[in-house]
Amino acid sequence: MSRRVRSWVMVPFVLAISAMAPAVGAKPAGNLQVHRDTIGELRQIEPFPAKRYHLATISLPKVLVRTGAYSPEIRISRRRVDVSYAVRGIAIESFFPSISGSVGTMTYSGEIQNSEGTFYNILKQQSNTNRGLILSVQPGNSAYLTVITTTRIDQTRAQLSETVNQKYAFAARLYFDNLASLSRVAVLRRAVDISLRILREEKKLVELGGASIVGVLRAAHEVARDSRHLVEEEKSVYHNAFRLDQIMGEDSDTLPIPAESFILPRLYIRMDDDLDSLIETSDVKRPLIRDYAKNEQARAQELSKTYFSPLVPTIGVSVLNGSLGPDFNGLTGYNETLFFALWTVGPGGFLDPAAINLAGRNKDQATAELSRARILVHREVRDSFEQVRKSLEEEKIAVEDMRLARLTFLASRKRVQLGVYHALELIVSLRDLVDAQLKYIEATRQFEEAQFDLLAAIGTRPDVIRVPVPVGPPLNPEFFSFTSGDKSPTGGAEPLPSIDRGGFK
């Protein structure tokens, strides 16, 4: 059972334009009455996560391993490979001759002329029974079908590899999306906490006549704003967790919680500055290109089958043993053996112009699709490579922005301690700090997701046992706090937000 996490409060209020500022010369008691009437009662946010869900800590390597083993889409792709082997079995089976047997009677009628020139109508029934074999094979057609279905097996195996690569990248994106949402939840909870403290201080000052109602309303607005963003992020956690469960083949009330305490930049691949070499690697390793290349090869084999398969005749032998007579009481036995070779000219056989034209057009289409696939893959490699490079640059800038925003917030708090008080200045600096931290989280998420997108674009799978390498020097946990460690109205020093199986610390 999950521990009940600390609840935060959200302030619903309706702002009337005429009540946002006190009238000139109004007494503090009037201001107090205005903010009491306008803000109303505080309302609690529902606990997160809900009690019905079981929290399960999971690492990224475990996510990838479970995805490869239990993803429904990957399991379906594996079944497609099995089907392609079965289809080839049917093609191989066509090398074996077919067997036929028959039994029945025959009735015939007509006219005969006797020696005197008179015609007589006759109606006779002839009875016959036969037992035997009719063996026939189409060696040319069977050979080509076997070759084509073998190529299709290679194509479906390439499709399986492409599905695995894409699902690995998708699972990693869900993992990082979930980790980013949980990191935002941690930041926004602290923001709501500090906004509430500012609101309480503003209320006290209004009651003492030392502040305006505008500061109270603005602080209440910040509480509502941060609370709304907090609830939105909690919704994202649920959404991403359920999708992550699905891709890992789970169907239960489990919320997979990332093992990391907070999203930080990590290098999961060995970056290569030579983009051209990555593109060349994708031409060889990307399963999507192999898929279309095998399709083109199969279409070319189908064209050859249309040209040359009818040149090889259908060969067979008919061996029959039976009886024949006018009735079943006087049947005469007979034996029949027939060797034959059949060629077909025209539709369905040799020199079939429609079939040749269709096979040629299919081959041309497959060639065009292969060319398009190469362009698509090269674009994905270039895009993912630049996303990794630029998102890392963005993350470094976000760290500096976060550092400056934190210094600004601490300076605004110091002004409060020195008595140079202005509520709006503190609220604006808090908003800037929260936005800087959220932008850092977003830049880091993009950086880590882009790495797995690049791996998928190249056609290589992540090394699930490789320990990720931190990017740059380790970040100071104070970057993610709202204090400098000293005693202040907004609290003491805060550690880096962390997540456990029971909730959020």
Residue 438 sits at the vertex; the CA angle it makes with 436 and 440, to the nearest 5 degrees, is 70
The C-alpha angle 322, 324, 329, rounded to 5 degrees, equals 110
Q: Residue range 181-200: average pLDDT?
A: 89
Question: Model confidence over 285-325: pLDDT tens digits?
Answer: 999 999 999 999 999 999 999 999 988 888 888 887 777 66
| Ramachandran angles phi, psi of 452, nearest 5° | -75, -30
Domain coverage including residue 412: 9-86+146-296+364-486
Angle at 280 between CA 275 and CA 281, to 5 degrees: 95
User: Domain with 160 in it: what CATH number?
Assistant: 1.20.1600.10
Rounded Cα distance between 162 and 156, Å, is 10
Q: Across-strand partners of 56?
A: 256
Distance (Å, rounded) from C-alpha 465 to C-alpha 62? 10
**pLDDT tens figures, 227-250:** 899 999 999 999 999 999 999 988
Distance between CA atoms of 457 and 285, rounded to whole angstroms? 10
Does the residue 123 lie in any domain? Answer: no
Token couple for 245:
């469960």
The mean pLDDT of 89-105, rounded to a whole number, is: 76
Residue with tokens 């083109």: 296
DSSP 398-409: HHHHHHHHHHHH
Residue at 45 is within a domain? yes
Q: What global pTM score does this model have?
A: 0.78
Within a domain: residue 321? no
Q: Is the residue at 351 inside a domain?
A: no
Establish if 186 belongs to a structural domain: yes
pLDDT in the model for residue 110: 65
**Into how many domains does the chain fold?**
1
Alpha carbons 234 and 241: distance in angstroms, whole number: 11
Residues in the chain: 505
- On whether residue 340 sits in a domain, the answer given is no
Q: Nearest Cα to 243, choosing from 161, 159, 173, 160?
A: 173
Which one, of 213, 305, 234, 281, lies nearest residue 20 by Cα?
A: 213
Does the pLDDT of residue 190 top 60, yes or no?
yes
**8 Å CB contact between 252 and 70:** no
**Lowest-confidence range among 110-114, 212-216, 457-461?**
110-114
User: Between these two residues, 148 and 333, which has the higher pLDDT value?
Assistant: 148
Report if residue 347 sits inside a domain: no
Report the half-sphere exposure of 408 (CA within 13 A, side-chain side): 17
Min mean pLDDT across 147-156, 177-186, 346-355 is at 346-355
According to the model, what pLDDT value does residue 151 have? Answer: 97
What local confidence, expressed as pLDDT, does residue 493 receive? Answer: 37
Quick one: average pLDDT of 467-491? 66
> Is 308 contained in some domain?
no
What confidence tier does 222 reach under pLDDT thresholds 50, 70, 90? confident
Q: Answer yes or no: is pLDDT of 33 > 60.
A: no
Task: Give the model's confidence band at 111: pLDDT under 50 very low, under 70 low, under 90 confident, else very high.
Answer: low
Tell me which of 14-23, 178-187, 304-313, 424-433 is least confident: 14-23
- Which band of pLDDT confidence, cut at 50, 70 and 90, is reported for residue 54? confident
pLDDT tens per residue across span 371-411? 999 999 999 999 999 999 999 999 999 999 999 999 998 88
Which of 141, 99, 133, 135 lies closest to 313 in space, CA to CA? 141
